[in-house]
Amino acid sequence: MSNEMEQLRQQMDKVNLEILELINKRASINQEIGDLKTKQSIKRFDPVREREMLDKIKNNNSGPFQDSTLEHIFKEIFKASLELQEEDNSKALLVSRKKQAENTVVDLKGEQVGAGGISYVFGPCAVEGYEQVAAVAASVKEKGLKLLRGGAFKPRTSPYDFQGLGIEGLEILKKVADEYDLAVISEIVNPADLEKAVDYIDVVQIGARNMQNFELLKAAGDAGKPVLLKRGLSATIQEFINAAEYIMSRGNRNIMLCERGIRTYEKATRNTLDISAVPILKQETHLPVFVDVTHSTGRRDLLLPTAKAAIAVGADGVMAEVHPDPAVALSDSAQQMDIPTFDQFFKEIKDVENRLKK
């Protein structure tokens, strides 16, 4: 090789190293800007600023590269810097496994939800009266269980259907919960009712129809009570996770997720139970995951097989509706279990749980 060529190559190597140093220096400055933006909650990507930088580069270009070539090269550098910031863990969602590797455990009057065992939530679709709730509570208690459900504010498809007893329903739940030493879960649909409701209930349920009611999610985050968040009728898993993030971003870490079926073209069941959502949610988040077998199937004959599937696939809990006399229930009469059916259901599901544990 000629001496001249050798010299040019050496120069080239030197320039490469200079570019390398400068490019990394640029990335460090970019990270500092990114940190400032995070503190001020400003978006990292700023197209106006990018345009300004590109114009300045082009205005100072004396060749031999063409402006368009330089624009292309610099845009790649901008993009790489932005991607570098996005790999940063500080951007991960609070509900994500990336942010917290260990499982969140929610303590409900001593029941450790998400700690490895299976939690069961049983109770009527709607609170209709003291006797009705107390009958189910007695049966729940007798099984050594801790969690009771019952709707006082019912989000019904038709405005002419039973809308729930409201605060009176919550009063009934509280009375029964105190008498039987149970923790109660009840849906709240209006942020304005939350403040009052937290005096009566142990868990605020946010129903499928309200999964993206962002003001309600924020209010539930502020209320500080444990929340059971149900998946929206047509919500993707990502939307579901983001809904949980709304709650956690307000400082409330006691969140439980509930897969309750999604709307598909299939008519054999009321909704389609998305069973694979359970392990996905367990991988992606650190929150306990329930499966509501009542609303996902809408069929009494499918409650047991789907509950088995839920436990086998790794759910932390199962929810199902129980009513002393489903035939006369004011809502969901076709799918609630009566007490003898409930007894049998529980016996069989406990069997499955114990077999899987071995």
Q: Residues in the site for ligand PEP, rule: CB under 6 A? A: 125, 151, 187, 207-209, 230, 260, 292, 295
Q: Which of Mn ion, ligand PEP, none has residue 187 at its interface (CB below 5 to 8 Å by kind)?
A: ligand PEP
39 vs 267, which CB is nearer to ligand PEP?
A: 267
Query: What distance lies between CA 90 and its chain's CA centroid?
Result: 19
Whether residue 145 contacts residue 181, with contact meaning beta carbons closer than 8 Å, is answered with no
CB 357, min distance to ligand PEP, A: 27
- Give me the count of residues in the chain: 358
Name the residue number minimizing CB distance to Mn ion.
125
- Widest pairwise Cα distance in the chain: 101
Cα(228)–Cα(258) distance, rounded to whole angstroms? 7
Side chain identity at residue 175, one-letter code = K
208 vs 303, which CB is nearer to ligand PEP?
A: 208
284 vs 332, which CB is nearer to Mn ion?
A: 332
Least Cα distance to 206 among 266, 270, 267, 292 occurs for 292
Which residue matches tokens 């076709």? 334
231 vs 286, which CB is nearer to Mn ion?
A: 231
114 vs 169, which CB is nearer to Mn ion?
A: 169
96 vs 289, which CB is nearer to ligand PEP?
A: 289
What 3-state class would DSSP assign to 95?
A: coil
Question: Is 189 a residue that touches Mn ion (CB under 5 A)?
Answer: no
Question: Is 187 a residue that touches Mn ion (CB under 5 A)?
Answer: no
Among 108, 113, 118, 125, binds Mn ion (CB under 5 A): 125
Name the residue number minimizing CB distance to ligand PEP.
207
Among 332, 337, 346, 349, binds Mn ion (CB under 5 A): 332
CB 173, min distance to ligand PEP, A: 13
Q: Which of ligand PEP, Mn ion, none has residue 148 at its interface (CB below 5 to 8 Å by kind)?
A: none
Helices (H), the chain: 3-39, 47-59, 67-86, 130-142, 167-180, 191-197, 214-223, 237-248, 277-284, 293-297, 303-313, 339-357
CB 149, min distance to ligand PEP, A: 7
Question: Is 293 a residue that touches Mn ion (CB under 5 A)?
Answer: no
Which residues fall within 8 angstroms of residue 34, CB to CB, at 6 or more apart?
A: 44, 85, 88
What 3-state class would DSSP assign to 74?
A: helix
Return residues touching Mn ion (CB under 5 A). 125, 332
